[in-house]
Amino acid sequence: MTARIDGRIAVNAKRVKLVETGLPMKLVLLVVLVFSAVTARAELPPDAKALHVLNRLGFGPAPGDMRRIESMGIENYIQAQLDPESMPLPPKLAAQLDGLDTLHLDPVQLFGKYGPPLPARGEKIDPQAAKDSRRRAHVILEQAAQARLLRAMESPRQLQEVMVDFWFNHFNVFAEKGLDYLWIGAYEEEAIRPHVLGHFRDILGATARHPAMLFYLDNWLNTAPDSPGVHGQFEGLNENYAREIMELHTVSRGYTQQDVVTLAQILTGRGLRLGRFGGDAGDGFFFDRRRHDFSDKMFLGQKIKGRGEAEGEAALDLLAKSPDTARHISYELAQYFVSDQPDPVLVDKLARRFLDTDGNIRAVLDALFHSQQFWDEKNVGNKFKTPYEYVVSAVRASGEDVDNFRPLTGMLQQLGQPLYGCQTPDGYKNTQAAWLSPDSMMRRLNFATALGSGYLPLAAPGQRSEPVDPERLADTLGRQFSLRTSGAVDAAPRMLKPALILGSPEFMRR
């Protein structure tokens, strides 16, 4: 019988003795080993290039990936990842994604099928009907999370999935803010995923007009105070989105509070049309001229003539082309792919590439992957995995098929990084300081124990996962472990070997 300790899945006590934390004593000692390796990272040999590319352009190796990349060559692998459409999805994955029906509905359809009931004029909403509607809508979040995990674990387009993670955090939306529970899957499918390797202006524009972002940062309420459209909750300027689009999404610096106010004025009237006021399909975006400020404006030193919806597009053009935006995005990419404290020389190089290519993210990444800093030995294996990266990379390395995703989403919740669950607009961090702690290490190692021993219930109901083969797992990871880790694995009972590998200092990093 499988025991549960502190809500976490533990291994059968007859086969592996567990201490109070939910971990075998050898794994508890490994926490100390991982913690002590924070500053004393073992140097990786030159043949670690293949593993480095798999860890940075993707979520780590799956069985056979090391041999595959060595066969095709690192440069060919990089170019294939930069051109994801050149790689067809496996038929099984394509069929699984096709079966997630909420991913194929647009925002208006989602609102109509799963949104709160609209009462007849003059009547109040039935509380029970509203509660039932919210319960039915939970499938949207479940399917969005399943699709994200499926793609990250199974898609050969690994860089595309890494960039979905990157851009979603950059343009973060919290699923539990008001009606955003309806649109979180559509937001990723429509505003993020199609543009992750395209031009920055395209993803900026797509997120700016999506109902999920309009609702999350309140621009759907943004109304010129003296306009004819002032009524009820549409009572005046709302600066939330204007501030965050500059501070987080684009320039990050070089703007004033007056620029925030002016941008809010420019964005007045950009909102939603849903339910009884819309059709049976559509993106949900609506520009309400009655709530817009039509005065001429000065924004970032540039005159923008009052002409309605086009003002917003002109402001987005200015923000996307700003050198400050180029530097901000380049810094974040360098931090994500190279080092928590990226070399300013690399950031400057990427920023120039960004400006020279009109914000072509594919071109910027190409320059990054061929930079000296990306291949510098001190930057190999130096990025501490976020909970999402750890969980996905562990399942990929194990080679396990996943039919039940709840243990994975539950573990992400325990580790502090639930999918679509970041409440603040700055998104989840990707640095060591954000995620390394004794408690998180215990939880990761508990997960490694359950996954490695086959007691993590990832299989379909009525089926049971098999323990991970430690030899196959070591081969998958290229056997690139320190002498200390190799010695600990060699000395351990066979059933503990996978957990020691997945809980090793080397596997905690990418």
Q: What is the DSSP string of 11-52?
A: --TTTS---TTSS-HHHHHHHHHHHHTTT-PPPPPGGGHHHH
CB-based contact 105:147 (threshold 8 Å)? no
Q: What pLDDT, in 10s, does the model give residues 213-222?
A: 999 999 999 9
Of the candidate ranges 36-50, 60-74, 100-114, the one whose mean pLDDT is the lowest: 36-50
CB-based contact 322:253 (threshold 8 Å)? no
Cα atoms in the 13 Å half-sphere on the side-chain side of 30: 32
Model confidence band, residue 118 (pLDDT cutoffs 50, 70, 90) = confident
CB-based contact 430:386 (threshold 8 Å)? yes
Instruction: Identify the pLDDT of residue 497.
Output: 98
The count of other CB atoms within 10 Å of the CB of residue 181 is 22
The count of other CB atoms within 10 Å of the CB of residue 48 is 17
Torsion, CA 66, CA 72, CA 77, CA 80, rounded to 10: -130
**pLDDT average, residue stretch 310-315:** 98
Q: Which amino acid, one-letter code, is at 298?
A: M
| pLDDT beyond 50 at 414 | yes
**pLDDT average, residue stretch 430-438:** 97
SS3 content of the chain, % helix, strand, coil (to 5): 55, 5, 40
The H or E element that residue 325 is part of is helix 323-337
CA distance 251 to 316: 11
CA distance 90 to 87: 9
CB-based contact 328:255 (threshold 8 Å)? no
Model confidence band, residue 41 (pLDDT cutoffs 50, 70, 90) = very low
Q: Which amino acid, one-letter code, is at 93?
A: L
| pLDDT beyond 80 at 3 | no
DSSP result, 161-206: HHHHHHHHHHT---TTSTTHHHHHHHIIIIIIGGGTTSBHHHHHHH
Q: Which two tokens stand for residue 53?
A: 């590319």
| Higher per-residue pLDDT: 297 or 43 | 297
Considering 19-23, 115-119, 357-361, the range whose residues carry the highest mean pLDDT is: 357-361
3-state secondary structure of 415: coil
Place of tokens 């009606």: 179
Instruction: Identify the pLDDT of residue 275.
Output: 64
Q: Which two tokens stand for residue 332?
A: 């974040």
Q: Which two tokens stand for residue 348?
A: 């400057």
Show Cβ contacts of residue 462 under 8 Å, excluding neighbours closer than 6 positions: none
Instruction: Identify the pLDDT of residue 10.
Output: 36
Model confidence band, residue 152 (pLDDT cutoffs 50, 70, 90) = very high
**pLDDT average, residue stretch 379-383:** 96
User: What angle do the packed helices 107-114 and 127-154 form, to 10 degrees?
Assistant: 130
DSSP label at residue 273: -
Model confidence band, residue 132 (pLDDT cutoffs 50, 70, 90) = confident
Q: Which amino acid, one-letter code, is at 30?
A: L
CA distance 397 to 59: 9
3-state secondary structure of 285: strand
Show Cβ contacts of residue 337 under 8 Å, excluding neighbours closer than 6 positions: 56, 365, 368, 369, 374
Strands 270-272 and 285-287: antiparallel
CB-based contact 199:184 (threshold 8 Å)? no
| pLDDT beyond 60 at 30 | no
**pLDDT average, residue stretch 444-462:** 95
Instruction: Identify the pLDDT of residue 279.
Output: 53
CB-based contact 422:451 (threshold 8 Å)? no
The H or E element that residue 93 is part of is helix 91-98
CA distance 174 to 166: 15
Instruction: Identify the pLDDT of residue 20.
Output: 42
**pLDDT average, residue stretch 370-392:** 97
Q: Which of 281, 279, 271, 289 is nearest to 179 (CA)?
A: 271
DSSP label at residue 297: E
CB-based contact 191:106 (threshold 8 Å)? no
CB-based contact 336:430 (threshold 8 Å)? yes
Q: Which two tokens stand for residue 198?
A: 């395209």
Q: Which amino acid, one-letter code, is at 81?
A: Q
DSSP result, 220-271: GGB--TTSTT-BTTB-B---HHHHHIIIIIS--SS--HHHHHHHHHHTTTEE
Q: Which of 21, 359, 420, 20 is nearest to 203 (CA)?
A: 359
**Sign of the CA dihedral 297, 302, 304, 310?**
negative
pTM score: 0.91
